[in-house]
């Protein structure tokens, strides 16, 4: 079985947010304020005018981190949140009771309530819309013009992501919480 | 149990106090119904909860009710389970109160959980054993069963042995359920201000205090401030217990705050500092919830029962703020620390204020509790009877 993860060359990000649009289009995410599976965070430029460090302004694409030790999975009372065979964190809408405990427990603000199913929704690495059809990329990766995102199997030493992580330094978000996220920000 | 007609059921002495409480109860019940209809028609959209602040007033009110229930169960067990003679008279009234308050809590949470029927099915079919909510919900279901049986053998088919057995079971399961409710917050590793061992223990302590306040209020209303000797002896002792519990709570809270602030740990210190500067904390929790009742007990050497009953009103208002703050403070620090768009300001503390529907359902739950208490008082004899001793 694969163990899917994503590496992000976040310094390449130009904040065009094509990934956000592609995600919404691919997965039918509703166009409402709180409804988004992925987003681009903006770290503002440091310094006071006129001494502003332009290089310090960066963009941080983010989404569900598909943690190996996911707090959302641990706190779910009905096991509606589960690990797929490929190590992805998934939500089964038939079991979700909408207690929103998982939204509270997620340190990454990655979950929201989908109005159509009235259950919790989040990034699935396009598992049902693309991977299930034999494709090997996610919609956000496929659309990114500056090749920020590299999606693939972390257990395959020859996959692009494994090679990238073997050769580059990276960091993860809120590592100190012990959640073992599978999103890697290439430094 | 008494034979009662519908006419008798709704007849009560028309004193200004009784009439006032009747009007408040009917108004709150109407509010609950209106809120419930709004929720059924529009779902969670009638609530002001958001992705960043997914729990609000209704979760706080649920906690308020179940803490009240556990508190009444613990306080009733002083006489009923542990056999302290002066406290045996509380038994029936407190257990009836425990059943009523937890039922009101379930009514409120039933309108907050998106799919309560799915919960009943999949709590059994695919239980999440690492989830504090699963344990809390399952144990509270068991607790309600035990205290209903306890009440049955106390007030309907009097059997002191059975009522004691179910009383012990209810107490133990109630304590387990309640500490798990504390763990619902304590288990949140994403929220450093809540994470840790504090809440499971604090929930038990604050439940006991809530139970004392409610016993004072129930007895103050029952005897209209003219207490028989036996009742006033019990209330003075209860007041001493309450004073001691409040002292422990103040001590406990002080160290929780100091521990949270010390070292300026990211997120945790900022959250607690923000929380304790808010009037909800220093006025609601601290002055109304702890200091006024504590000062009255301390100054009067626990003998001013009437003043303590009035202070129990401020105490319960304070307890409400404790529950509200518990939920809100846990969620006020933003999880995403970066701006998401050029036109957005950088995230600051998450704002939340309950919607009209949340107020209607949350406080409407108090109407449910008052109405059920009125019925219980009419249908059952909640005072101590001679047969209870045999």
- C-alpha dist (Å) from residue B68 to B59, B71, B106, B200, B375: 14, 5, 13, 15, 19
Closest CA to B29 of B297, B260, B307, B375: B375
The pLDDT of residue B388 is above 50: no
Residue A40 sits at the chain B interface (C-beta within 8 Å): yes
Portion of chain B with pLDDT greater than 90, in percent? 80
- Give the start-end residues of each E strand in chain B: none
What is the enclosing helix (H) or strand (E) of A169? none
Is the CB of residue B271 less than 8 Å away from at least one CB of chain A?
Answer: no
Concatenate the DSSP letters of all residues of A81-140 into one string.
EEE-TTS-EEE-TTT-----HHHHH-TT---EEETTTTEEE---TTTTTTGGGT--S-HH
Structure tokens at B338: 């970066």
Q: Is the pLDDT of residue A135 over 70?
A: yes
Per cent of chain B over pLDDT 70 is 96
Q: Rounded distance, CA B119 to CA B109, Å?
A: 12
Q: Report whether pLDDT(B390) > 80.
A: no
Count of CA atoms in the C-beta half-sphere (13 A) of A12? 13
CA-based end-to-end distance of chain A: 28
Q: What is the pLDDT of residue B1?
A: 56
Write down the pLDDT at residue B5. 80
Q: In this structure, are residues A173 and A6 in contact, taking their beta carbons and an 8 Å threshold?
A: no
Would you give the DSSP letter of residue A185? E
Contact B212, B242 (CB under 8 A): yes
Average pLDDT value for chain B: 92
Q: Classify strands A4-8 and A183-186 as parallel, antiparallel or unpaired.
A: parallel
Tokens for A69? 């030790």
The phi, psi pair for A141, rounded to 5°, reads -70, -45
Instruction: State residue A56's pLDDT score.
Output: 84
Q: Select the more confidently predicted residue: B336 or A6.
A: A6
> How many angstroms separate the CA of residue B335 from the nearest CA in chain A?
6
Residue of A nearest to B130 (CA): A74
Question: Which pLDDT band, with edges at 50, 70 and 90, does B386 fall under?
Answer: low
How would DSSP label each residue in A42-73?
EEPPBS-TTS-BGGG-EEEEE-----TT-HHH
Q: Which of B337, B183, B122, B136 is nearest to A91 (CA)?
A: B122
Band (B372; pLDDT cuts 50, 70, 90): very high
Q: A173 touching B, CB under 8 A?
A: no
Please count the other Cβ atoms lying within 10 Å of the Cβ belonging to residue B245. 19
Summarised one tens digit per residue, pLDDT across range B118-174 is 999 999 999 999 999 999 999 999 999 999 999 999 888 888 899 999 999 999 999
Identify the pLDDT of residue A112.
95
Q: Which residues of A touch B184 (CB under 8 A)?
A: 101
Asked whether residue A18 carries a pLDDT value surpassing 90, the answer given is yes
Mean pLDDT over residues B33-40, rounded?
A: 96
Percent of chain A with pLDDT strictly greater than 70: 100
The whole-angstrom distance between A159's CA and the closest CA on chain B is 30
Asked if ipTM goes beyond 0.90, one says yes
| Residue A75 contacts B where some CB pair is shorter than 8 Å | yes
Judge whether B1 and B380 are in contact, CB under 8 Å. Answer: yes
A104 touches chain B (CB under 8 A): yes
Q: Compute the average pLDDT of residues A143-164.
A: 96
Per-residue pLDDT tens over the stretch B43-84: 889 999 999 999 999 999 999 999 999 999 999 999 888 889
Identify the DSSP state of B14. -
């Amino acid at each position: 079985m694969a163990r899917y993860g994503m590496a992000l060359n976040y310094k390449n990000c130009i904040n065009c947010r094509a990934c956000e649009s592609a995600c919404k289009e691919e997965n039918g995410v509703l166009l409402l304020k709180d409804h988004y599976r992925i987003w681009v965070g903006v770290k503002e430029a440091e310094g006071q005018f006129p001494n502003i460090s332009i290089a310090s302004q960066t963009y941080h694409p983010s989404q569900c981190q598909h943690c190996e030790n996911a707090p959302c999975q641990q706190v779910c009372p009905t096991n509606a949140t589960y690990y797929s065979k490929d190590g992805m964190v998934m939500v089964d809408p038939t079991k979700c009771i909408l207690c929103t405990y998982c939204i509270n427990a997620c340190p990454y603000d990655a979950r929201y309530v989908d109005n159509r199913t009235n259950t919790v929704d989040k990034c699935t690495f396009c598992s049902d819309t693309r991977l299930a059809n034999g494709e090997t990329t996610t919609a956000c990766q496929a659309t990114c013009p500056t090749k920020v995102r590299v999606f693939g199997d972390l257990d395959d030493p020859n996959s692009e992501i494994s090679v990238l992580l073997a050769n580059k330094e990276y960091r993860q978000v809120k590592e100190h919480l012990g959640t073992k996220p599978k999103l890697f920000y290439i430094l | 149990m008494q034979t009662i007609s519908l006419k008798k059921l709704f007849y009560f002495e028309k004193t200004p106090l009784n009439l006032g409480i009747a009007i408040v109860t009917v108004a709150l019940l109407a509010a609950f119904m209106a809120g419930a209809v709004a929720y059924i028609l529009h779902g969670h959209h009638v609530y002001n909860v958001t992705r960043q602040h997914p729990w609000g007033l209704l979760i706080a009110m649920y906690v308020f009710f179940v803490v009240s229930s556990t508190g009444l169960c613990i306080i009733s067990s002083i006489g009923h389970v542990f056999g302290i003679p002066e406290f045996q008279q509380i038994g029936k009234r407190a257990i009836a109160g425990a059943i009523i308050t937890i039922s009101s809590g379930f009514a409120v949470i039933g309108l907050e959980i998106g799919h309560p029927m799915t919960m009943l099915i999949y709590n059994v079919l695919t239980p999440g054993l690492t989830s504090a909510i699963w344990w809390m919900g399952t144990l509270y279901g068991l607790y309600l069963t035990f205290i209903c049986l306890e009440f049955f053998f106390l007030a309907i088919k009097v059997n002191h042995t059975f009522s004691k057995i179910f009383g012990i079971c209810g107490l133990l399961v109630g304590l387990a359920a309640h500490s798990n409710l504390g763990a619902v917050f304590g288990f949140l590793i994403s929220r450093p201000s809540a994470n840790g061992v504090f809440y499971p223990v604090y929930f038990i302590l604050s439940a006991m205090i809530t139970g004392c306040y409610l016993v004072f209020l129930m007895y103050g209303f029952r005897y209209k401030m003219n207490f028989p000797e036996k009742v006033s002896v019990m209330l003075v002792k209860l007041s001493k217990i309450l004073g001691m519990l409040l002292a422990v709570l103040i001590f406990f809270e002080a160290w929780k705050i100091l521990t949270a602030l010390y070292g300026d740990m990211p997120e945790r210190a900022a959250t607690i500092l923000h929380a304790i500067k808010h009037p909800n904390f220093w006025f609601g929790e601290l002055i109304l919830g702890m200091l006024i009742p504590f000062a009255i007990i301390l100054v009067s050497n626990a003998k001013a029962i009437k003043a303590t009953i009035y202070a129990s009103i401020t105490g319960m208002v304070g307890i409400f703020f404790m529950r509200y703050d518990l939920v809100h403070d846990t969620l006020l620090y933003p999880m995403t620390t970066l701006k998401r768009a050029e036109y957005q300001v950088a995230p600051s503390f998450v704002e939340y204020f309950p919607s009209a529907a949340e107020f209607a359902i949350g406080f409407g739950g108090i109407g449910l509790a008052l109405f059920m208490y009125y019925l219980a008082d009419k249908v059952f004899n909640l005072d101590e009877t001679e047969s209870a001793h045999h």
